[in-house]
Amino acid sequence: MIFREMHAADYPSAFHLWESTEGMGLSAADSEEEIIRYLQRNPGLSQVCEAGDGAIAGTALCGHDGRRGFIYHVAVSDSYRGHGIGRELVNRCLYKLREEQIAKCHLMVIGDNELGQGFWRGIGWQLRDGLALYSQGT
Protein backbone atom coordinates (compact mmCIF):
# COMPACT_ATOMS: atom_id res chain seq x y z
CA MET A 1 0.00 0.00 0.00
CA ILE A 2 1.15 3.50 -0.83
CA PHE A 3 -0.20 6.48 1.10
CA ARG A 4 0.10 9.86 -0.56
CA GLU A 5 -1.47 13.27 -1.10
CA MET A 6 -4.66 13.29 -3.14
CA HIS A 7 -4.44 14.96 -6.57
CA ALA A 8 -7.06 16.17 -9.04
CA ALA A 9 -6.28 13.18 -11.29
CA ASP A 10 -7.49 10.88 -8.48
CA TYR A 11 -11.03 12.23 -8.71
CA PRO A 12 -12.59 9.60 -11.02
CA SER A 13 -11.32 6.69 -8.92
CA ALA A 14 -12.13 8.43 -5.65
CA PHE A 15 -15.67 9.26 -6.77
CA HIS A 16 -16.20 5.65 -7.85
CA LEU A 17 -15.11 4.52 -4.37
CA TRP A 18 -17.44 7.04 -2.70
CA GLU A 19 -20.37 5.91 -4.85
CA SER A 20 -19.81 2.31 -3.85
CA THR A 21 -19.33 3.01 -0.12
CA GLU A 22 -22.40 2.25 1.96
CA GLY A 23 -23.54 5.25 4.01
CA MET A 24 -21.56 7.81 2.00
CA GLY A 25 -23.64 10.90 1.30
CA LEU A 26 -22.87 12.57 -2.02
CA SER A 27 -24.24 15.79 -3.47
CA ALA A 28 -23.53 18.41 -6.13
CA ALA A 29 -20.68 19.60 -3.88
CA ASP A 30 -18.88 16.37 -4.78
CA SER A 31 -18.60 17.20 -8.48
CA GLU A 32 -15.15 17.07 -10.02
CA GLU A 33 -14.99 20.87 -10.21
CA GLU A 34 -15.92 21.28 -6.53
CA ILE A 35 -13.51 18.62 -5.27
CA ILE A 36 -10.64 20.01 -7.34
CA ARG A 37 -11.36 23.47 -5.91
CA TYR A 38 -11.30 21.95 -2.41
CA LEU A 39 -7.96 20.26 -3.08
CA GLN A 40 -6.49 23.50 -4.41
CA ARG A 41 -7.75 25.47 -1.41
CA ASN A 42 -6.27 22.88 0.97
CA PRO A 43 -3.07 21.74 -0.76
CA GLY A 44 -1.42 18.61 0.55
CA LEU A 45 -4.01 17.82 3.23
CA SER A 46 -6.27 15.24 1.55
CA GLN A 47 -4.90 11.71 1.35
CA VAL A 48 -5.32 8.52 -0.68
CA CYS A 49 -4.12 4.97 -0.34
CA GLU A 50 -3.12 3.14 -3.51
CA ALA A 51 -3.24 -0.63 -3.75
CA GLY A 52 -0.39 -2.49 -5.43
CA ASP A 53 -2.08 -2.24 -8.82
CA GLY A 54 -2.41 1.56 -8.53
CA ALA A 55 -6.15 1.46 -7.78
CA ILE A 56 -7.42 3.78 -5.06
CA ALA A 57 -8.10 1.65 -1.98
CA GLY A 58 -8.96 4.53 0.36
CA THR A 59 -9.54 8.28 0.56
CA ALA A 60 -9.80 11.07 3.11
CA LEU A 61 -10.63 14.66 2.19
CA CYS A 62 -9.12 17.13 4.63
CA GLY A 63 -9.11 20.89 4.96
CA HIS A 64 -9.43 23.76 7.41
CA ASP A 65 -10.87 27.23 7.79
CA GLY A 66 -7.83 28.67 9.57
CA ARG A 67 -8.84 27.51 13.04
CA ARG A 68 -10.63 24.15 12.77
CA GLY A 69 -9.92 21.17 10.60
CA PHE A 70 -12.54 19.12 8.79
CA ILE A 71 -12.38 15.59 7.44
CA TYR A 72 -14.78 14.28 4.82
CA HIS A 73 -15.24 11.17 2.69
CA VAL A 74 -13.08 8.72 4.58
CA ALA A 75 -13.73 5.58 2.58
CA VAL A 76 -11.93 2.27 2.17
CA SER A 77 -12.77 -0.27 -0.51
CA ASP A 78 -14.59 -3.31 0.89
CA SER A 79 -11.73 -5.62 -0.13
CA TYR A 80 -9.18 -3.60 1.88
CA ARG A 81 -11.12 -2.98 5.09
CA GLY A 82 -9.79 -4.22 8.39
CA HIS A 83 -6.14 -3.49 7.60
CA GLY A 84 -5.83 -0.07 9.27
CA ILE A 85 -6.07 1.94 6.05
CA GLY A 86 -8.84 4.24 7.30
CA ARG A 87 -7.00 4.88 10.56
CA GLU A 88 -3.77 5.65 8.71
CA LEU A 89 -5.52 8.04 6.32
CA VAL A 90 -7.06 9.89 9.27
CA ASN A 91 -3.73 10.01 11.14
CA ARG A 92 -2.04 11.46 8.07
CA CYS A 93 -4.73 14.11 7.77
CA LEU A 94 -4.40 15.04 11.44
CA TYR A 95 -0.62 15.26 11.09
CA LYS A 96 -0.99 17.58 8.09
CA LEU A 97 -3.44 19.75 10.05
CA ARG A 98 -1.00 20.01 12.96
CA GLU A 99 1.67 21.14 10.50
CA GLU A 100 -0.76 23.96 9.61
CA GLN A 101 -1.13 24.70 13.36
CA ILE A 102 -4.71 23.40 13.42
CA ALA A 103 -5.25 21.54 16.70
CA LYS A 104 -8.96 20.67 16.54
CA CYS A 105 -10.77 18.71 13.85
CA HIS A 106 -14.44 17.96 13.16
CA LEU A 107 -16.25 15.56 10.87
CA MET A 108 -19.82 14.71 9.99
CA VAL A 109 -21.38 11.27 9.72
CA ILE A 110 -24.88 10.71 8.39
CA GLY A 111 -27.07 9.69 11.33
CA ASP A 112 -28.02 6.22 10.07
CA ASN A 113 -24.52 5.34 8.83
CA GLU A 114 -23.77 2.68 11.45
CA LEU A 115 -20.59 1.54 9.67
CA GLY A 116 -19.20 5.08 9.73
CA GLN A 117 -20.31 5.70 13.31
CA GLY A 118 -18.61 2.48 14.40
CA PHE A 119 -15.38 3.37 12.61
CA TRP A 120 -15.09 6.77 14.28
CA ARG A 121 -15.96 5.42 17.72
CA GLY A 122 -13.47 2.61 17.19
CA ILE A 123 -10.57 4.97 16.58
CA GLY A 124 -11.36 7.14 19.59
CA TRP A 125 -13.47 10.02 18.27
CA GLN A 126 -16.28 11.29 20.48
CA LEU A 127 -19.82 12.11 19.36
CA ARG A 128 -20.66 15.74 20.12
CA ASP A 129 -24.05 16.37 21.66
CA GLY A 130 -25.77 19.72 21.73
CA LEU A 131 -25.00 20.79 18.15
CA ALA A 132 -27.42 21.28 15.31
CA LEU A 133 -26.19 21.34 11.71
CA TYR A 134 -27.93 23.76 9.37
CA SER A 135 -27.29 23.87 5.62
CA GLN A 136 -28.29 26.03 2.70
CA GLY A 137 -27.96 25.27 -0.99
CA THR A 138 -27.48 22.01 -2.83
How does pLDDT run across 9-54, given as a tens digit for each residue?
Answer: 999 999 999 999 988 889 999 999 999 999 999 999 999 999 988 8
Q: Grade residue 103 by pLDDT with cuts at 50, 70 and 90.
A: very high
Top pLDDT among 7 and 130 is at 7
Query: What's the pLDDT at 138?
Result: 59
Distances (CA, A) of 67 to 56, 102, 106, 107: 30, 6, 11, 14
pLDDT for 120 beyond 90: no
Spatial separation of the C-alpha atoms in residues 33 and 8, rounded to whole Å: 9
